[in-house]
Structure 1
Amino acid sequence: MNLTLAEIARCLGTLADEGFENTVVTEVKTDSRTVEPGDLFFCIAGENYDGHEFAAQAAASGACAIVASRMIDKLDAPIIMVRDTKAALGRLAACWHDTCGAKLVAVTGTAGKTTVKEMLHAVVSRKFATAKNYRNFNNQIGLPVSMLKASADQELWIMELGISRLGDMEELAPVASPDLAIITNVGPGHLEGLGDEAGVASAKTTLLRYLRQGGRAVIGKDYPLLWNAALELVDAPVGFSGRDDADTDFFAVFLGAASDGRGRFRLRTPDGDGELTAPFLGAHYAENLACVAAAAHCLGLSRDDVVEGVNAMTADPQRFCCKIGKGITVIDDTYNANPLSMAQSVRTAREMAGEKPLVLVLGDMRELGKEAMALHEELGRVLREVAPAMVFYKGDHFLDVERGFGGYMREADKPEAFLEAWRELCITEGVVLVKGSRSLKMEQFANVLCRTLDARAQGGGL
C-alpha cells in the first residue's frame, strides 16, 4: 500500500489533520505486537480482546496513526476516529483497490476455495503480476488486510472469501467488488450460522450481487441449489463440472495415480481435451481443476497455461498430501473438514487404496449446528460404503458416526494411543486417511504415523 494519512482519512470519510499529507503509511496492522515504525494501527474489537487496549503499545512501537472508534487518552500518535473500525478497514481496502485499478477475482464455496485460489494463482501468475491472500485469511479482517498488502503494480488480485453466518457475505462482497466471482460448490458447511444447504447457496451467491459492471461468474454446475441460485442473479454464468457427462465446456475427471505418486486427470476446455498429471490426487481435485480452467479462460488464458501452471505447483502439506512410506500411503488432509469435503476425501482414499486396506483416522466436523448429529451419522454411512479395515475417531460425535457406520470403531483421543492401536493392526501396505476439523489438530496423528513409518523404512522396526 502506498497512501498518505490524508488519503486514508478521506477514504474513511474523516478530516485530515495537519501533517497527514506528508505522512506515507508503510503498512496496515491489526496486531499491536507486529507494529513497526510507519504502520497504521486499526483498533479491532473481537470477542476476547479489544484493540483499543493495545493502542498505546502500537504507538510506542512507531505507529504513524491509530484508527479507533472511541477516544483513547495519553496516546503519542494521531487518532483517526471512525464509527466502526472493522467496517473502516474494509472501506480502506476497497478504496485501495479502486486506486490501483487491479482486476479482482473473488473465490468462495463450501469446499476447495483455498485450493482453487492457490491453483489459479499458480496458473495466472505465469502471465500476470498477481496478489493473493495468505492461506485462508478470508474473513472481515483477513480479506481487507490481504488486499491492503497487494501492490499497485500487481494487476490481478485473487482473494478468497469465507463466511460462517448470515450477513457475512454482505460485509465481504462490497469490499472485494470483484470482476470475476468464483463459487466452487455448496454443501452442509457452517450450518450453525447459515441454516441449511439452500441457505448456504443463497449466502454464497450474494457475492454475485456485487460484481462490477461487465463482471463474470464461474459456478459449479454439479450443485443444482447453487446453479439455480446463481441463474437468478447473473444471465450467463460459466459452468464447470467434475463429471464427464456434464453439459459444460469445462470439466475434469480423476483417472487415478501415476507411478510417481502424482495424479492423472482428464481436462476438457474449448481449447482441447486430454490427459495431464498434477501434484495432487483425488476426484475432488478434478472439480477444482475444472473450476480453475474455467476461471483462467475468463481471464484470457489457455488450457496449456493451466496445465503448465498446475504442474509447477507444490502440494499443500495439509490438503490431501500423500506421504508414502514403505507400502503405506498416509494422506494428510487435516487442514479442515465439513460433510462435503469429508465424503470426497473418504471416497477418494478408498479409490486410491483399491484392494488394499484403508484405515481412516477422523475427527469431528465442527460448526454444523442442529444438524450435527444427523450429518455425523451420515458420515458413518459413507464410511460403511468404503469398507475400511479400521476407523479411528476423535471427537464428541463418535457415537453418531458409529451408529451410521454400524461397525467397530476405536476412539483416538491422543496420537500416542492411536499409534499403539495402529501397531496392533500389523498393516504393511495400504492407505491411511487423516482428516478432521482444524481445531482438533488431526495433523498430530498424521505426523506421528509418518515418523513411525520413516523409522521402519530405515530399519528401526515399528
Structure 2
Amino acid sequence: MVLNQKQKTKQLEEKKLNNFSLYELKKAPFLRGFFFIFDFMNIQDLHSAFLANPSISTDTRKIKENDIFFALKGDNFNGNTYAQKALEKGASMVVIDEEEFYVDDRTILVNDVLKSLQLLANFHRKQCKAQVISLTGSNGKTTTKELINAVLSKAYKTIATKGNLNNHIGVPLTLLTIQPDTEIAIVEMGANHLKEIEFLCKIAEPDFGYITNFGKAHLEGFGGVEGVIKGKSELYDYLTSNNKSIFLNADDPIQKNKLNTYTKRFGFSSEDPKYYTIQLLDAQPFVNLLVEDINIETNLIGAYNFSNCCAAIIMAKYFNVEMHEIKEALEEYTPDNNRSQIINTNGHYIILDAYNANPSSMKVALENFNSLEKDRKILILGDMFELGESAKEEHQSISDLAKSLNFEQVILVGENFYLTNNHFIKLRSFHDLKAYLKENSLPSKSSILIKGSRGMALERVLDLI
C-alpha cells in the first residue's frame, strides 16, 4: 500500500512515541525525504551512533574517514549545503536541520543542529567518569589551560580544549573528545556577553573551576568592567550553587572580596599564609618561582604569567601530583601560537604576543617589556577589538602609557590607534605597516614587542623584519 504524506507523518510520530531506535527510524522506507524531529528523548540513540564513530567534524575541508558531520550554520554559510560533500569525503553520517538536503539513510534530520551537538556533548559528559575542570577569565585562559594540562598529564589521563575552541561550539566539541579512560578534562570557556558562561556550564557541568582574572576584555558585549566581573563570575556561581569546588587566586583584589562567599575553595597566594604559598623570584625575562623550597624556572616571559603557573600548581597539588613532576612539567612547557613567544631573528630579540589583546593584557605586556634589561626597545602595537564606546579612550590610554615608558620607537597600527593623540608612527592598516617597513629598517639588534588583537594578525610582521 502506498502511503500519502499525512499517513507517513503519522507513522513517523508513532515510531517516535514508541521510542524506536535511531537505526530503526533510519531504515524505515517512508523516512526518506521527510523530517525526523530529534530531541532529548532519543539523544541516547545519537550517542550510540557517536560511540561507534567517535569523531565529529563541522568543516568538510577537514573531514576524516567515518567522521560524523554536524551541518552548523553561520552568518555567511549554511552547513546543510555540504551534507552530500561530507558523505562523499568519507563521513559516516551527517546531521542536518533542513530536509531539502537529505541525502540517504546516513542522514539524520533534526530541529536544530547546534542544539543537537550541545545536547550530545552534555549527554556524553554525563556518561563519562572524567572530572571536568573549567576555566575562564579575561586574559591567560589558553596558557593556563595548557599549563594545567601539562602538570596533570604527568599523573592522569587528560584531555584539554584544542587551541581556543572555547565557545558554544568549541566547548561541546571538547567534551566529545573525552575517552572512556579519560580521568580529567580541562575545558576552557570564553565569553563576550552575560549569561554565556552560565550556558556553557550547563553543557559542561564542571566539577571544578578557575577564573584567571577580570580585565578590560569584550567591554562592548559585557557593557563595561562590572559586566565582565559579573559574567566571568558565572563560573563560580554555578560551582557554588551545585556544591562544587573552585580554585582561586587569593591575591586578586576582585576575588579577594568574595572569598567568604565560596565555601569549597582552594587558593594560592604570595601574601596570605592561609593559602598555598608560592613566591615569584623574578621575571627577567622568564618567570622564576619558589614553591615548597623548590625553584622552578619556566620558559614563560612576563610576571603576568606567574599567576597562570600558580593555578597549575595548586590544581596539581589538589590532585596529588608529585612536586618533582610539577617542576618538570612547568620547566618543559614552551609557549607557541603567537603567545609571548621569544624569537631571535636577524639580530633582533622579539617577543611575539599577537595571539590577542585587550587594555588589561596590553598594559601588563608594556610594563613587563619596559622592565626587561634590554636595549633599543621598540613597540609594534595593533588595535584592540570589541571595546565598543570605550575604544577611543582605551587606545589613547595605552598610547599615553607607551609615551610615559620612553621606548626608543613606537609603531601603532590600526584605525583606532591611528586616531590617538601622540607623535608616534601611526599607520591605518597592516598594508601600510608593510610599506613602511620596506622603506624603513628597524635599528639593528633591537628588542621588539609585537602585540595586537587576533584580527590584526601581527605575526605577519616577522616576515618583514
Once residues 110 and 327 of structure 2 are traced to their aligned partners in structure 1, the CA distance between those partners, rounded to angstroms, is 47
1:380 aligned partner, one-letter code:
S
Once residues 303 and 378 of structure 1 are traced to their aligned partners in structure 2, the CA distance between those partners, rounded to angstroms, is 42
Q: TM-score, normalised by structure 2?
A: 0.83
Per-residue deviation at 1:132? 1.0
Match of 2:94 among 66, 80, 90: 66
Match of 2:369 among 349, 366, 369: 349
Once residues 43 and 204 of structure 2 are traced to their aligned partners in structure 1, the CA distance between those partners, rounded to angstroms, is 25
Once residues 21 and 136 of structure 1 are traced to their aligned partners in structure 2, the CA distance between those partners, rounded to angstroms, is 27
- Aligned pairs (5 A) from 1:79-228: 79-211=107-239, 215-228=244-257
- Aligned pairs (5 A) from 1:300-319: 300-319=320-339
Match of 2:311 among 291, 298, 303: 291
Aligned-partner SS, 1:189: coil
Match of 2:388 among 348, 369, 378: 369
Instruction: Give the match for residue 451 of structure 2.
Output: 435
Contact 2:438 2:464 in 1 (8 A): no
2:381 aligned partner, one-letter code:
L
Judged with a 3 Å threshold, the aligned counterparts in structure 2 of structure 1 residues 432 and 194 are, in CA distance, closer, same or farther, namely: same
Instruction: Give the match for residue 392 of structure 1.
Output: 411
Once residues 17 and 114 of structure 1 are traced to their aligned partners in structure 2, the CA distance between those partners, rounded to angstroms, is 34
Judged with a 3 Å threshold, the aligned counterparts in structure 2 of structure 1 residues 46 and 369 are, in CA distance, closer, same or farther, namely: same
Runs of at least 5 residues in structure 1 that lack an aligned partner in the other structure: 450-462
Once residues 161 and 353 of structure 1 are traced to their aligned partners in structure 2, the CA distance between those partners, rounded to angstroms, is 36
Judged with a 3 Å threshold, the aligned counterparts in structure 2 of structure 1 residues 22 and 296 are, in CA distance, closer, same or farther, namely: closer
Per-residue deviation at 1:151? 1.5
Contact 2:194 2:230 in 1 (8 A): no
Which one is further off, 313-322 or 174-183?
A: 313-322
RMSD between aligned alpha carbons? 3.0
Aligned-partner SS, 1:104: strand
Which one is further off, 182-191 or 276-285?
A: 276-285
Aligned-partner SS, 2:233: helix
Instruction: Give the match for residue 256 of structure 1.
Output: 283
2:449 aligned partner, one-letter code:
L
Per-residue deviation at 1:445? 1.0
Per-residue deviation at 1:78? 4.2
Once residues 227 and 281 of structure 1 are traced to their aligned partners in structure 2, the CA distance between those partners, rounded to angstroms, is 26
Once residues 311 and 357 of structure 2 are traced to their aligned partners in structure 1, the CA distance between those partners, rounded to angstroms, is 20
Contact 1:30 1:44 in 2 (8 A): yes
Matched, 1:416 2:434: yes
Q: TM-score, normalised by structure 1?
A: 0.84
Which one is further off, 412-421 or 26-35?
A: 412-421
Contact 1:60 1:76 in 2 (8 A): no
Runs of at least 5 residues in structure 2 that lack an aligned partner in the other structure: 1-20, 25-36
Aligned-partner SS, 1:150: coil
Judged with a 3 Å threshold, the aligned counterparts in structure 2 of structure 1 residues 276 and 189 are, in CA distance, closer, same or farther, namely: same
Contact 2:43 2:123 in 1 (8 A): no
Once residues 125 and 103 of structure 1 are traced to their aligned partners in structure 2, the CA distance between those partners, rounded to angstroms, is 13
Once residues 244 and 418 of structure 1 are traced to their aligned partners in structure 2, the CA distance between those partners, rounded to angstroms, is 47
Aligned-partner SS, 1:90: helix
Once residues 220 and 93 of structure 1 are traced to their aligned partners in structure 2, the CA distance between those partners, rounded to angstroms, is 30
Contact 2:131 2:185 in 1 (8 A): yes
Once residues 383 and 23 of structure 1 are traced to their aligned partners in structure 2, the CA distance between those partners, rounded to angstroms, is 54
Match of 1:48 among 48, 59, 76: 76
Match of 2:401 among 343, 357, 382: 382
Aligned-partner SS, 1:217: strand
Identity %: 28
Aligned residues: 429
Contact 1:5 1:25 in 2 (8 A): no
Which one is further off, 170-179 or 125-134?
A: 170-179
Contact 2:215 2:228 in 1 (8 A): yes
Which one is further off, 343-352 or 57-66?
A: 57-66
Judged with a 3 Å threshold, the aligned counterparts in structure 2 of structure 1 residues 95 and 227 are, in CA distance, closer, same or farther, namely: farther
Judged with a 3 Å threshold, the aligned counterparts in structure 2 of structure 1 residues 265 and 421 are, in CA distance, closer, same or farther, namely: farther
Contact 1:192 1:369 in 2 (8 A): yes
**1:234-255 residue CA offsets vs partner (Å, 9 max, x unmatched):** 32433345x6579742444251
Contact 1:264 1:275 in 2 (8 A): no
Which has the greater radius of gyration?
A: 2
Once residues 335 and 84 of structure 1 are traced to their aligned partners in structure 2, the CA distance between those partners, rounded to angstroms, is 32
Matched, 1:448 2:464: yes
Aligned-partner SS, 1:201: helix
